[in-house]
Structures are given as C-alpha cells and as structure tokens.
C-alpha cells in the first residue's frame, strides 16, 4: 500500500478515536495532557515512521494503529513519553 494512503487512513482512525474520547470526556489527568495533545503527538510519531518505511509491510492504517497500540517502542520519536 502507498505510504500516503496509509497516512490518510491513520489520520482518519486517530480522528475517530479523538472524537470518541471527547464524547466520553476522556482526559489523561495522570500525565496532565489533553486528549488532543496525546493523539496529535501519537499521530505525528506514527506518520513519521510511515514516511521512514517502518510500516511498509502493513496493509492498512488499522494494522499500523493496532501494532502501535500494543508496542509504542515501534515509534522512534515516542521514547517512552505519554505511554
């Protein structure tokens, strides 16, 4: 799958997650960050890895999101923050 298509799918998935979290009044109080900041940072890290080719074997944005949900160490820019 083309990287740009994967990036678009990932953006749509994280936008859906953000909308859902807002509906549930989710707030990451333990880290003191907003839902928007959390998903924005996560999305940017995932997009960076897609651009680097980290997920070239993945067939969909959902597959990438699922992998990252289980293992944030796949994201070189994450470095344990906001885990």
79 is a domain residue: no
11 is a domain residue: yes
State the Cα angle at 72 between 83 and 74, rounded to 5°. 155
The number of folded domains in the chain is 1
Query: What domain range includes position 52?
Result: 3-74
Answer left, alpha or beta for residue 75, where phi above 0 means left and psi between -120 and 50 means alpha: beta
Indicate the pTM of the whole model: 0.81
**Residues 6 or more apart in contact with residue 9 via CB below 8 angstroms:** 60, 61, 62, 64
82 is a domain residue: no
pLDDT tens by residue, the chain, 83 residues: 699 999 999 999 999 988 887 666 555 555 667 788 888 999 999 999 999 999 999 999 999 999 999 999 999 988 656 55
């Amino acid at each position: 799958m083309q990287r740009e298509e994967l990036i678009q799918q990932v953006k749509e998935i994280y936008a859906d997650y953000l909308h859902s979290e807002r509906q549930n009044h989710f707030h990451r109080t333990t880290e003191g960050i907003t839902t928007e900041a959390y998903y924005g940072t996560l999305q940017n890290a995932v997009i960076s890895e897609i651009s680097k080719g980290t997920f070239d074997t993945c067939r969909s944005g959902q597959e990438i999101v699922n992998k990252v949900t289980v293992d944030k160490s796949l994201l070189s820019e994450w470095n344990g923050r906001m885990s």
